[in-house]
Structure 1
Amino acid sequence: MSLSLGGLYEKHVVESSFKVADARQEFGINLSKILSSKQGRDEDISILGSQRLFKQVPKGPLDMAVDYFYNDFEEAEPTRISSLKNTFPRQLMEDFGEDSYFVADPRGFETVVHYIANQFLSHNNNKITDPRLKLKKTVRKIYQSKNKVIITTEDGSVYHANYVIVTVSVGVLQSDLIEFVPRLPLWKKLAINNFDMAIYTKIFMKFPCKFWPTGPGTEFFLYAHETRGYFTIWQHLENELPGENMIFVTVTDEESRRIEQQSEKKTKAEIMQVLKKMFGNGKQIPEPDTMLIPKWWSNRLYKGSYSNWPNGYTLHSYHDLQQPFDRLYFAGEHTNSTYLGYVDGAYFSGINTANALIKCLKHFCEGRRS
């Protein structure tokens, strides 16, 4: 279902917009494959640039909402920013399919963490008891010399190691949270600071009753507004949490930053205005009982949600982003080009980096730079 500022669009109008978006996407995928096939030439273009080549640039609130659904909803940044060659085709979907599952397991996402941790850390009654795991320790300084690394945390704790794997987000690396002594070399700082840390915000609301349609074909609602990304994509949770009267809206990029910096009261007022336009139609729309607004960008331990490959960022720069610096190795979703931005990418990058370090310890250190 797609809605405008003044009500519903006609079904055939919406279907036509989606049909054009499908064609744009197909053109972009094919162009990306052509650019990727040019050996030794690191040519690229933004997703928006490919749309210009195709002579089908989204215009108007409806087309922008549909384009947002196809692109920003995944990359969390506008099409003028995202690299075409390093976005299309989306490898995760190529490998695992395009189905998107919303897991509502009451145990929470930590169940996955415990499953992995229990494979190598001591645990008891689903609690990690291994003394090697240090929680609630914020690293503020990493000092390395020719033969050791010293980590200092915010509470004054000091840890010594021969090597360190740094797994904080690229957003945190771009901030001043961690002091590196000596400073990271210019090639590493350029690779870090030219990459993008995107912001993806899901605002959840629980209401005393449902006032939105449910049933087949009603899980998503699009709100078409002249401002791109203004509370565009809505999704109810009746399928996952029946009877809970929950709905959420996804915002990204500048809208996420704007919302994080304003009061919750103002955000709620904006949301209620949109909901009344979408579902009011003479009905009374109640205030939410509760509302959750994550603040990934403001949180110094994250500084965003996940990374995104910007247009113009070269493969050489990405190689520098992945590269160790002396005794410091780097891992995280931002270092896994196959599943960039996904938990899968973070998981596999950790394995790959650990194996590289083990190889270094046993045999020789490949790719290390000073």
Structure 2
Amino acid sequence: MEGLEVRGLLLVWILGLSFVTATSATSVIVIGAGMSGITAAKTLSEAGIKDFLILEATNRIGGRMCKTTFQGLNVEIGANWVEGVNGKQMNPIWDLAQKLKLRNFQSDYDNVTANIYTHHGGLYPHAVATVAFDVADERSNYTTALSTSMSRNKEEDISILASQRLCNKVPTSPLDMAIDYYTYDYEFAEPPRITSLQNTEPLPTFANFGEDLNFVADTRGYESMVYHIAHQFLTTSKHTANISDPRLLLNKVVREIRYSRSGVIVKTEDGSMYRAKYAMVSVSIGVLQTNLIKFHPDLPHWKLLALYQFNMAVYTKILLKFPYKFWPTGPGTEFFIYADEKRGYYPIWQQMENNYPGSNVLLVTVTDDESRRIEQQSDEETKAEAMEVLRNMFGKNIPDAKAILVPRWWSNRFYKGSFSNWPIGVSRFEYDQIRAPVGNVYFTGEHTSEHYNGYVHGAYLSGIDSAQMLVDCIKKGNCEPKFEGRPKK
């Protein structure tokens, strides 16, 4: 009956789509060719499961690791840092960056207290900024200790903001809010009132891999890591070194996944259909929260509830090119903060002299609602706002920006954001449900990483972990992976 069900379904689709032909069945269809999808496919290949198909919606692999050209520079509009370096464990992404000799620079945040600008103009006195940072450190130490205690005692989670309230140190002044933004939003892309305490304090990335962050500025792009992994198991052209493997199909936008115990049928936007025994879905959790991909039957309620509760955050790095430098350069000037009365209004600035000498480029980071607002206005409007902030900081006579680059990850239907953030209210029980397969449909991506959601190394490790679960199912018949708290059928 199972076989008849799938064949009948295929026949219905063929009758309804006269130009459609279905491929012969493969073992696995991997949906998405970002870091997690490519790593999952490589893991399958190494386990001897080589009859897979990778369907990628765009014209490239790499996903949210994406370079572009801006004013003659190769820059990253997505992932930019290797976060978690020089710790007691080796971050696998840092290991790979070193093997590939990616051009990178350790980000220097040490002197940021001397580079905080008021919204009225000029710098805060260094002593004033230092005191504010000391208070922020006390607040952070308290919240970390509280989180550790609550986790040990198995108490219910609270938000970071709730923990700040408990120690009576809620930031309210422009300076305090800017430092709070620098501490939390700049890392998680969402504010403390949203972010989980127990699942972010202390943060496993820094606790395990180290607290250093290295900024990638290589002409090959951060995405070259994904290509390096892909070249290890996908065939390439002898003449160009481009991937020519027929198992990788680009510009294939998956719109439907029909699944049963007999297998899966995947339909793409161009009307093509593909059959397999299993599917590995590596799209972002932001996409899973939309209707881009329709599942038949609908995903079970427990799965949807877990997916819909998790957050897809938006992190926007805006680049501005100037005719000449008007900002401080040299040691201790890489990062500077703007403390506006409105929290999160063009707050974190980075001058690119270390990474791109002589470029006369500034990078400003915005997140969350500001990212969404900026994505919906013109680049000229954004440039005008950024210039007003810069003139508040450096005076009215600074030159206008010659060019601006504004990424739009939230508006892009293939991503719907930058990376996942663990919000208040999602327990380990529910997180295991996000990771859990549904029948023959498996899930991977940075949002499924057990300890490193939101990070490139999380995407890398999740691809391996999810694929290994599928390998265990195919080769050992162990198709019910054991997660703590996974609902029993």
Report the counterpart of residue 37 of structure 2 in structure 1. Answer: none
Q: CA deviation at 1:291?
A: 0.8
Instruction: List runs of 5+ in structure 2 lacking aligned partners.
Output: 1-114, 483-487
SS of the residue 1:102 aligns to = strand
1:269 to 348, 365, 384: 384
Structure 1 position 190 matched with structure 2 position 305: yes
Aligned-partner residue type, residue 357 of structure 1: L
Report the counterpart of residue 48 of structure 1 in structure 2. Answer: 161
Query: RCO higher in 1 or 2 (8 Å CA, sep ≥ 6)?
Result: 2
Report the counterpart of residue 327 of structure 2 in structure 1. Answer: 212
Report the TM-score when normalising by structure 1: 0.97
8 A contact 1:231–1:251 mirrored in 2: yes
User: What is the CA–CA distance in structure 2 between the aligned matches of 1:10 and 1:93, rounded to whole Å?
Assistant: 30
1:290 to 393, 403, 411: 403
Structure 1 position 15 matched with structure 2 position 137: no
Q: CA deviation at 1:110?
A: 2.3
8 A contact 2:252–2:268 mirrored in 1: yes
User: What is the CA–CA distance in structure 1 between the aligned matches of 2:420 and 2:241, rounded to whole Å?
Assistant: 31
Structure 1 position 99 matched with structure 2 position 228: no
8 A contact 2:322–2:403 mirrored in 1: yes
Aligned-partner residue type, residue 276 of structure 1: R
8 A contact 1:162–1:327 mirrored in 2: yes
Query: Any idea what the Cα deviations from partners look like across 1:76-106, whole Å, max 9, x if unmatched?
Result: 0010000000001111111221111111101
Q: CA deviation at 1:136?
A: 1.3
Q: How does 1:1-370 map onto structure 2 within 5 Å?
A: 1-7=115-121, 8-38=123-153, 41=154, 43-124=156-237, 125-280=240-395, 284-363=397-476, 364-367=478-481
8 A contact 2:312–2:418 mirrored in 1: yes
SS of the residue 2:249 aligns to = coil
Query: Any idea what the Cα deviations from partners look like across 1:261-295, whole Å, max 9, x if unmatched?
Result: 11212111111100111112x5x222222211000
SS of the residue 1:307 aligns to = strand
% same residue: 55
Query: Any idea what the Cα deviations from partners look like across 1:108-159, whole Å, max 9, x if unmatched?
Result: 1221111111111112343111110111111000011220101111111111
Q: CA deviation at 1:367?
A: 3.3
Q: CA deviation at 1:54?
A: 1.3
User: What is the CA–CA distance in structure 1 between the aligned matches of 2:306 and 2:244, rounded to whole Å?
Assistant: 37
Q: CA RMSD of the aligned region, Å?
A: 1.2
User: What is the CA–CA distance in structure 1 between the aligned matches of 2:341 and 2:392, rounded to whole Å?
Assistant: 14
Aligned-partner residue type, residue 411 of structure 2: S
User: What is the CA–CA distance in structure 2 between the aligned matches of 1:166 and 1:18, rounded to whole Å?
Assistant: 42
User: What is the CA–CA distance in structure 2 between the aligned matches of 1:31 and 1:142, rounded to whole Å?
Assistant: 43
Q: CA deviation at 1:42?
A: 5.1
Aligned-partner residue type, residue 401 of structure 2: P
Q: CA deviation at 1:31?
A: 1.2
Moved over 4 A (4+): none
SS of the residue 1:163 aligns to = strand
8 A contact 2:347–2:365 mirrored in 1: yes
SS of the residue 1:334 aligns to = helix
Instruction: List runs of 5+ in structure 1 lacking aligned partners.
Output: none
Q: CA deviation at 1:324?
A: 0.4
Q: CA deviation at 1:174?
A: 0.3
User: What is the CA–CA distance in structure 2 between the aligned matches of 1:34 and 1:134, rounded to whole Å?
Assistant: 49
User: What is the CA–CA distance in structure 2 between the aligned matches of 1:155 and 1:135, rounded to whole Å?
Assistant: 12
Report the counterpart of residue 69 of structure 2 in structure 1. Answer: none
User: What is the CA–CA distance in structure 1 between the aligned matches of 2:301 and 2:446, rounded to whole Å?
Assistant: 22
Aligned-partner residue type, residue 318 of structure 1: Y
SS of the residue 1:3 aligns to = strand
Report the TM-score when normalising by structure 2: 0.73
8 A contact 1:42–1:315 mirrored in 2: no
User: What is the CA–CA distance in structure 2 between the aligned matches of 1:76 and 1:360, rounded to whole Å?
Assistant: 36
Report the counterpart of residue 50 of structure 2 in structure 1. Answer: none
Aligned-partner residue type, residue 320 of structure 1: Q
